[in-house]
Every structure is written in structure tokens, then in C-alpha cells.
Amino acid sequence: MSVVRWRLGGRWTRMALGLAAGAAIGAVVFWASRSHGPGLYLLTGAAAGAVAGLLVHAYNGNVGLQDVTITIPQLSELHFVVSPDNRLVAWRLFIETTTRISTQPLAPDSGNLREALTSLYDLFQQVRTSLKESRPSRPGSNGPTVEELGVAMLNLELRPFLSRWHPLLAEWEKNNLGEPERSWPGNLQCRAELAELQQQLGEYVKGFATLAGLQSIAEWPRNVGA
């Protein structure tokens, strides 16, 4: 047996609410036209109260909105209208990105590329999951949403790097069991491109920090790509 769930804001719910509101307004107009004395005052007061309630609701819906401009070199200057919900999404993306070992420098003669690539892959999955589980933001002032910035990081930064280097390293590892990673012909080039990627991710991290309202740490991570 299927269960139909009604959501406030769904098409059929909005239609039902519109019909109910129209019927109520029609009834009020009809009764007002036939009322005199106290009845007329009661209807007028009720209508005024309803209008006041709608105004208060509209005001509360805009409380906490903040205009924020950030600069991502790959995307230039971006303007956001951020709400408390948007800041929560930005905070989640900031935490997912800045706590990964993939955002830490990897010197040519130290660290492990396999761990870094695995961390980047996990970051991709976790950010995608966070975005899927978040309620889409409403765009404001024709600017992007926080979720769109997260998708840009996945598709413009993480996906191209992983699509290129993850299968190459995996293939070499399969054919050279037990060999040290530094023997891989692509080792130095992969590390160089990883450093560039970390620098780019650092700009997104700072953007997420700013959108989350973390002004005191908006310059994080200071050592990414260093």
C-alpha cells in the first residue's frame, strides 16, 4: 500500500491551500456585506489580524539574511544572499573540506599519494552526500547558492583530478605490487598537480568559512598548498 506524504510547499498542497484561502475570503466578503454593527467590526478586525500575521511571517522569513561577497579565483567574484540555513550548509562543507588530510601539503619526498587520493575520493563522496541531504536554497539577487558552490568544487576541481590520477595510480599499483610509490613514473607530476588542487580547494574552504559566518578563520587553511 502506497503512502502519499503532503509537504508544505508541494504543488498539490499549495493548490489546496489556495482553494481554502479563496473560499475563506469569499465567505468573509459575503458575511461582511450582510453584517452591521458589531459583526462588521469583528470581521474587519479578523481581516486586519490576518494581514498583520502575513506581514509578520514575511518579515521573519527575511530575518537573518545577509549579503556576502567572496572571491574564488577559478570563478571570480561571487555574490550570495545567505540565510541561517545557508550558513549551516556552508559550515558542513567547511568542516568536510578542511579536516581532510588531502588539504595538507604533501612534500615530494614524504607522505603517501594513495592516502591523499583516497582522502580526496572520500571528500567527494561526503560533500555529495551533504548536498543531497540538504534542502535546496532559494537563489537571491540572481547570485549562486551555497550548494551550487559545493557542486562547482566537485565538478571543476575534485572530479577532473580524481578522474585523471586515481585510475593511473591504481593500475600501476596492481602491476607493481610491493614497489615503493616513488618508483611510479607519475609520482612527481601527480604531487605537483595535487599541490595546485590543494591551493584551489583552499579558496573554496575560505569561501565556505566566510559564508558560514566564521570571519575570524576565513583565512583558513593558511598552509594549504604551501
Q: What is the rounded distance in angstroms from the CA atom of residue 180 to the CA atom of residue 111?
A: 12
Question: Reduced to 3 states, what is the DSSP secondary structure of residue 216?
Answer: helix
pLDDT, one tens digit per residue, over 154-198 is 999 999 999 999 999 999 999 998 899 889 999 999 999 999 999
Secondary structure in 3-state letters for 31-66: HHHHCCCHHHHHHHHHHHHHHHHHHHHHHHHHCCCE
- Contact, 172 vs 181, CB < 8 A? no
**Which position has the grid cell 511571517?**
57
Instruction: Give the pLDDT of residue 128.
Output: 92
Instruction: Give the pLDDT of residue 110.
Output: 72
Instruction: Give the pLDDT of residue 2.
Output: 31
The whole-number average pLDDT for the span 10-15 is 52
The whole-number average pLDDT for the span 133-141 is 69
Of 27-36, 52-61, 72-81, 102-111, give the range with the top mean pLDDT.
72-81
| Candidate from 1-10, 184-193, 216-225 with smallest mean pLDDT | 1-10
- Contact, 192 vs 164, CB < 8 A? no
Q: How far, in Å, are 96, 116, 150 from residue 129 at the CA level?
A: 11, 20, 11
pLDDT, one tens digit per residue, over 63-117 is 456 777 887 877 878 887 778 888 888 899 999 888 877 667 776 667 789 999 9
Q: What is the rounded distance in angstroms from the CA atom of residue 138 to the CA atom of residue 148?
A: 11
The DSSP output letter for 145 is P
Q: Which of 110, 132, 136 is nearest to 194 (CA)?
A: 110
Instruction: Give the pLDDT of residue 192.
Output: 92
Neighbours of 98 (CB within 10 A): 20
**Model pTM score:** 0.65
Q: What is the rounded distance in angstroms from the CA atom of residue 26 to the CA atom of residue 56?
A: 23
Q: Which of 191, 209, 164, 192 is nearest to 72 (CA)?
A: 209
Given a cut of 70, is residue 32 above it in pLDDT?
A: no
Question: Mind listing the domains of the chain with CATH numbers?
Answer: 11-62 (no CATH), 66-217 (1.20.120)
Neighbours of 22 (CB within 10 A): 10
Given a cut of 50, is residue 42 above it in pLDDT?
A: yes
The whole-number average pLDDT for the span 35-48 is 55
Helix (H) or strand (E) run with residue 27 in it: helix 11-34
Instruction: Give the pLDDT of residue 6.
Output: 34
Residues whose CB falls within 8 Å of the CB of residue 193, separated by 6 or more in sequence, listed in order = 161, 164, 165
pLDDT band at residue 151 using 50, 70 and 90 as cut-offs: very high
pLDDT band at residue 139 using 50, 70 and 90 as cut-offs: low
